[in-house]
Amino acid sequence: MIGRLFASFFGAAMIAASFAYYNYTFAQYNFINFSEWQFFEKRDSFKPTEDEYLIIFYNSKDNSKLKFIRGIKSEVPVLLVDYYQKVDIFSEKNGTKQLRSGTNNMLKIIQRFNIYDLPSAFYIKKQKDELYKQNSDIEVW
For 10-24, the pLDDT digits (tens) are 777 788 777 766 665
3-state secondary structure of 139: strand
- Is 115 in contact with 109 (CB distance < 8 Å)? yes
**Mean pLDDT computed over 65-70:** 83
Q: Does the residue 66 lie in any domain? A: yes
How much of the chain exceeds pLDDT 90, in percent? 46
Q: Does the residue 57 lie in any domain? A: yes
3-state secondary structure of 72: coil
- Report the number of distinct structural domains present in the chain: 1
Q: Does the residue 91 lie in any domain? A: yes
**Mean pLDDT computed over 27-36:** 85
3-state secondary structure of 97: strand
Domain assignment of residue 98, given as a range: 30-140
CATH classification at residue 76: 3.40.30
Q: Does the residue 120 lie in any domain? A: yes
Q: Does the residue 15 lie in any domain? A: no
Please tell me the predicted confidence (pLDDT) of residue 92. Answer: 67
Q: Does the residue 67 lie in any domain? A: yes
Query: Which residues 6+ apart lie within 8 Å of 97 measured at CB?
Result: 41, 46, 77, 78, 79, 80
